Amino acid sequence: MPDQGKKPSTNKKPSKNSEDAKESEDGAISYCSMENCLFRGPMKACARCKSAWYCSVQCQKKHWELHKPICNHILEHIQRTPEEPLLDRHLRHWSTRFEATMLNACIRGLNLKHEWDRIEKEGLVILLQPRPHSHLGSRLHIQRAGVYKIEVIHSMLDAVGVNAEHRNRLLPLQMEARQRLQERTHGFADQAYIFAIARNDGPNAIEGRHPSALRILTPAVYKPQVVSMPMTEYDGDWLQDLKDQIHNDRPMQHKPLQKLVIHRAEYLSSR
Ligand SMILES: [Zn+2]
Ligand SMILES: [Zn+2]
């Protein structure tokens, strides 16, 4: 069992610590990785992989069985590079800041409220480029975004030059976790697939060669929660909303879906 990432760990370069610490205090992540956790609020990252977020040590412990294989793989991948590449670092902070924003865009983009089954075969892809910004978590902006079939996404990832070995090992692990999630929630929960890719191009490309960075986010999504989303949250042009939120650095906060908590609570108490 790893510790929760309360403080920047001592094995990091001191020069990065102050900015990283500031970022984590913002607590933009709002969804606990533990699938049936009702808590909405600032979360703490898994100190090992920084790719899962928890409201409490209890939730982290309950989720460990599902998370362990993915955590180990990401950790191994991180350890192979002595220093975190710049685009990876920017993407890590960006993903933390815009996690709720991306999940919302994914739910709306796939029209899951009315077409729940699309979650099985499609995902959200966001291509990002560097931009100057005062906030560490907002130094990427959208070049292109859309929803695609998972098979299509595979070939897109080949084309943008992300580390194939990393991805080819990560995806099956996530598929396994997904199956176990479906089993342990009796089909009430599934994983959304969100692929965030940062490439070093565009007018503000960083000097030098920087390999593309990829983060695959797979937040748990509850069917009862999505199906009963209020239309006011759901209507409108999701892609334009996503672009505006990123462009103006306005990450979604953990406000949405209060009503749906009732459904989840009902479901949980009926188990
Ligand atoms: Zn939790
Ligand atoms: Zn982890």
Give the tens place of pLDDT for each residue, 50-81.
888 888 999 999 999 989 999 998 888 777 77
% of residues, the chain, pLDDT over 70? 82
Q: Quote the tokens at residue 67.
A: 């998370």
What is the average pLDDT value for the chain, to the nearest integer? 81
How far, CA to CA in Å, does 149 sit from each of 86, 108, 121, 193, 195?
A: 29, 15, 6, 10, 12
Distance from the CA of 15 to the center of ligand 2, in angstroms? 23
% of residues, the chain, pLDDT over 90? 37
Please tell me the number of the ligand nearest to residue 73's CA.
2
Please tell me the number of the ligand nearest to residue 54's CA.
1
Greatest Cα pair distance, the chain, in angstroms, is 57
Over the stretch 7-46, which tens digit does the pLDDT of each residue have?
444 343 334 444 454 444 344 566 788 887 777 777 888 9
Distance from the CA of 48 to the center of ligand 2, in angstroms? 5
Angle at 263 between CA 174 and CA 40, to 5 degrees: 60
Confidence of residue 2 (pLDDT cuts 50, 70, 90): low
Distance from the CA of 203 to the center of ligand 1, in angstroms? 40
Distance CA 41, CA 43 (A): 6
Please tell me the number of the ligand nearest to residue 4's CA.
2
What lies within 8 Å, CB to CB, of 119 at 6+ separation is 110, 112, 190, 191, 192, 221
Beta-strand pair 53-54/44-45: antiparallel
Instruction: Please give the pLDDT value at position 28.
Output: 58
Distance CA 1, CA 41 (A): 23
3 state SS for 232-258 = HHHCCCHHHHHHHHHHCCCCCCCCCCH
Distance from the CA of 123 to the center of ligand 2, in angstroms? 22
Distance CA 220, CA 35 (A): 6
R_g (Cα) of the chain, nearest Å: 18
Distance from the CA of 222 to the center of ligand 1, in angstroms? 15
Distance from the CA of 221 to the center of ligand 1, in angstroms? 14
Please tell me the number of the ligand nearest to residue 37's CA.
1
Instruction: Please give the pLDDT value at position 29.
Output: 64
Distance CA 162, CA 158 (A): 7
Q: Where do the domains of the chain lie?
A: 89-247+257-269
Residue located via tokens 């982290």: 60
Distance from the CA of 253 to the center of ligand 2, in angstroms? 23
Distance from the CA of 200 to the center of ligand 1, in angstroms? 35
Please tell me the number of the ligand nearest to residue 60's CA.
1
**Stronger pLDDT, 38 or 118, i.e. the higher one:** 118
Distance from the CA of 231 to the center of ligand 2, in angstroms? 35
Distance CA 101, CA 246 (A): 9
Please tell me the number of the ligand nearest to residue 29's CA.
1
Please tell me the number of the ligand nearest to residue 2's CA.
2
CA 116 to chain centre: 20
Distance CA 165, CA 188 (A): 32
99-109 and 238-247 are packed helices; what angle lies between their axes, rounded to 10 degrees?
A: 160
Distance from the CA of 53 to the center of ligand 1, in angstroms? 8
Beta-strand pair 122-130/140-149: antiparallel
Instruction: Please give the pLDDT value at position 141.
Output: 94
Confidence of residue 122 (pLDDT cuts 50, 70, 90): very high
